[in-house]
Structure 1
Amino acid sequence: MIEASSRVEHAGGVVGWATDVMGTLGAPGAGVANAVDTVIPFVPSEVILPIAGFAASEGQMSLTGAIFWATAGSVLGSLVVYYVGALLGRDRTRAVAARIPLIRVHDVDRAEAWFGRHGAKAVFIARMVPVIRSMISIPAGIERMPILTFTALTAMGSLIWNAAFILAGYWLGSNWRVVEKYGGYATTAVVILVVLAVGHFVVSRLRSSKEQNRSE
């Protein structure tokens, strides 16, 4: 149980929710919280995991148990998102892409070809990148990556990520919020990069369309 000595029991928002779950379930609660984080990318594990580490440092849960259950939660959440991608499928993805302004079916084909070449590496590395770690399961499902391969790569990448943040919370003790602070910076940086990449794509595609209209 995460008791008053953890100094997070009265927090609101994500921190308060994660604390309540782990306080009720113990180490398996870290798995539940991390599963939600994996399905909903804006529930940051950079906040959830250090709390579990801090609780372990105070003897309120096992350190190995926290890492195990957090990783199990990551795998479970990733499988949920994987099957969403599998249900969507290649044909539906192409059909949806054809209806989105500035998106061409050729873009989907290129993404599919890229994932075919780098999918295994992408799934493993993405588990250690904020936000992207949740989203990578969708193309894996669409492309029907072998489920055992997907599960193994997800487990390995998630184990590294989870262990790093839980151990940081464990070692920092009552200063665990330092991890939250710098983890938040990393998440913000990734979101900014994604926004810039999308903006670059939109601008490039608009310029391409204008040039094509002038040449006709």
Structure 2
Amino acid sequence: MNTIVEWVLDLMEQIGGPGIALGIFLENIFPPIPSEVILPLAGFTSAQGHYTPVEAVLWATLGSVAGALLLYGIGAALGLERLKVIAHRMPLVDVADIDKADAWFTRHGPKAVFFGRFIPGIRSLISVPAGIDRMRLGSFLGFTTAGSLIWNSLFVAIGYQLGDRYELVERYMDPISKVVYALIILAVLGTIAWLVRRSMRRTQDPDDSIDIETLD
């Protein structure tokens, strides 16, 4: 990870703003790359005169939106019906759960996209269900840009103020991120446990079956 961060820092220093955009784009499609480190680095390099803080925020937001659009496109290409086909072939998963999740996202999608930009791990992945749900592209771009702009501005400003002490951000954000990731893992494990218990309670019920040919 240190090698990746050093590579991104080198890009920022050599090609300026586009290096920030590329780093944040990669962070979106590969969440283990921490934006909590890349963005303060952008603030630090802007303090050195490579570009202005405003330029750093704008380039970072461009990278965020580009990465989100790619994941949105993957979700849209997958689509709800294909997801149902996959769910039908997976043990423990009920196709009705997909419909419920899709109904929830249809109601709360804009809030999920906006507030999801502030949660490690969720920040990138929230674009996939938005694509699956075919959320209006204008709304998706608007809420993605707004959330990303706030997040990017905060960490670029912190890096700018801290200067060469930007490592302090990683020191304090790392345990917070680990707690969030741990909660996400616990939520996933809890969901799996619930699915297993539900499957064990059920006998083979014809009403739970689905004609796979209707989904193809």
Fold conserved (TM > 0.5)? Answer: yes
What's the counterpart of residue 85 of structure 1? 75
CA displacement, residues 73-128 of structure 1 (integer Å, 9 cap, x when unaligned): 10011001100000000111111111222211111111101001100000000011
Residue of 104, 111, 114 corresponding to 2:94: 104
Q: Amino acid of the residue matched to residue 141 of structure 1?
A: G
> CA separation in 2, counterparts of 1:186 and 1:99?
36
Q: Report the equivalent of 1:66.
A: 56
Matched, 1:162 2:146: no
User: Which blocks of at least 5 consecutive residues in structure 2 are unaligned?
Assistant: 204-216
Residues 130 and 186 in structure 1, CA contact (< 8 A), matched pair in contact too: no
Aligned length: 205
- Contact 2:25 2:67 (C-alpha < 8 Å) held by counterparts: yes
Match of 1:8 in 2: none
Q: Among the aligned pairs, what percent are the same residue?
A: 43
Deviation of residue 60 (structure 1)?
2.2
TM-score for both structures, normalised by structure 1: 0.90
Unaligned runs of 5+ in 1: 1-10
Find the counterpart in structure 2 of residue 191 from structure 1: 181
**Please, what is the CA RMSD of the aligned residues?**
1.7
CA contact (8 A) 1:30 1:69 kept: yes
Tell me, yes or no, if structure 1 residue 201 matches structure 2 residue 201.
no
Of 104, 113, 129, which residue of structure 2 is paired with 1:114?
104
2:139 matched residue in structure 1:
149
1:4 corresponds to? none
Contact 1:22 1:29 in 2 (8 A): yes
Cα distance between partner residues in 2 of 1:205 and 1:130:
25
The 5 Å alignment of 1:7-86 reads 12-86=2-76
Higher mean alpha-carbon deviation, 98-107 vs 144-153, is at: 98-107
Structure 2 distance, partners of 1:206, 1:87, is 30
2:119 aligns to what SS in structure 1?
A: coil
Measure, in 2, the Cα distance between the counterparts of 1:115 and 1:121: 9
Alpha-carbon offset, residue 41 of structure 1: 1.2
Residue of structure 2 equivalent to 1:133: 123
CA distance, structure 2, for counterparts of residue 12 and residue 187 of structure 1: 17
